[in-house]
Amino acid sequence: MQLTKYILIILSLFISSTTLADPFIEERNFVVEAKLAFLPKIPVMTVNTVLAIEENNYEYKFSIRTNNIVDFINKVNGDGSIIGIIDEFYKPLHYKYKYKRKEKEKFVEIKYNDSFISELNLIPEPDKSMLTKIEDDMLTNTIDPSSFFLNILNYKNINGCEKTFRIFDGKRRYDVSFNKNDKTTLDNLIYCKANQIKLGGYKIDEDEDIFASSDYIKVIYKNNYKKDFYGYEANNGSITLFINEVK
């Protein structure tokens, strides 16, 4: 009896130690290509990411580098991170992004508390008199742009091409709204089309950067069991951006 009890204790310790989940770590790399009118695509940026998940917590690190400088794309080099929780989809708790754009150093930090933004740090501070207004209630239930990208890598996070993401990048507030009526399947690919709805924080008298404003967005998935991410497309006038994963 004592021997049986001892064996059960040893087995329980062994099972406990082997069933504790190790952190899941995934590295994924992407290339951003730009196409102007009838010209061929040009690779302009690389995006390298590392996602670490432990239970319902995650950390997402990303690095953005401009490879080719073209007139219609601003040079951007930056590094950022997100700490958050997984609750139906990836929800940020602390977002940081330090980058250099147009030879100017910039920094964005957003801290979240439930559905609200508890802290916002911007360097430099934007001149709000030059921007369209953002009301306080527009900032509830928002996520940062990198969290949006992380979410759309998984088909289930866009609810079968019918979900609206409320996005705030520290200055601009916009929605990306997917509509199931715009979902199409062609050549074993699923195309989920979304509209980007500009709500506030945009320049009043100037054109916005291609990354800040899109006429339409398409997220493409393989029509297989896992619905793997295949690509991203966004259009602004004569410029179209493509994001594809580098295997």
- Residue 7: pLDDT band (50, 70, 90) is very low
| Averaged pLDDT for residues 45-69 | 94
Measured CA to CA in angstroms, residue 34 lies from 29, 50, 71 at distances of: 17, 24, 11
Can you spell out the DSSP letters for 115-174? TEEEEEEEESPP-GGGB----GGGGTT-B-HHHHHHHHTBGGGGTTT--EEEEE-SS-EE
> Given a cut of 90, is residue 213 above it in pLDDT?
no
**Per-residue pLDDT, 241:** 94
- 43 and 31 Cβ atoms separated by less than 8 Å: yes
The two three-digit tokens of residue 119, written as one number:
């802290």
Query: How many helices (H) and strands (E) in the chain?
Result: 2, 14
Task: Name the one residue in this structure whose structure tokens are 């040079």.
Answer: 75
Torsion over CA: 169, 55, 158, 41 (sign): positive
- Residue 73: pLDDT band (50, 70, 90) is confident
Class of residue 176 by CB neighbours under 10 A (exposed 0-12, middle 13-18, buried 19+): buried
Radius of gyration of the chain (CA): 21
Class of residue 186 by CB neighbours under 10 A (exposed 0-12, middle 13-18, buried 19+): exposed
| pLDDT, tens digit, 9 for 90 and up, residues 131-190 | 999 999 999 999 999 999 999 999 999 999 999 999 999 999 999 999 999 999 999 999
Whole-number percent of the chain with pLDDT over 90: 75
Report how far apart the first and last C-alpha atoms of the chain are (Å, whole number). Answer: 56
Tell me, yes or no, if the pTM score tops 0.75.
yes
Max avg pLDDT among 5-19, 21-35, 71-85, 107-121: 107-121
**Per-residue pLDDT, 207:** 63
**Per-residue pLDDT, 10:** 46
| pLDDT, tens digit, 9 for 90 and up, residues 19-55 | 445 789 999 999 999 998 888 899 999 999 999 999 9
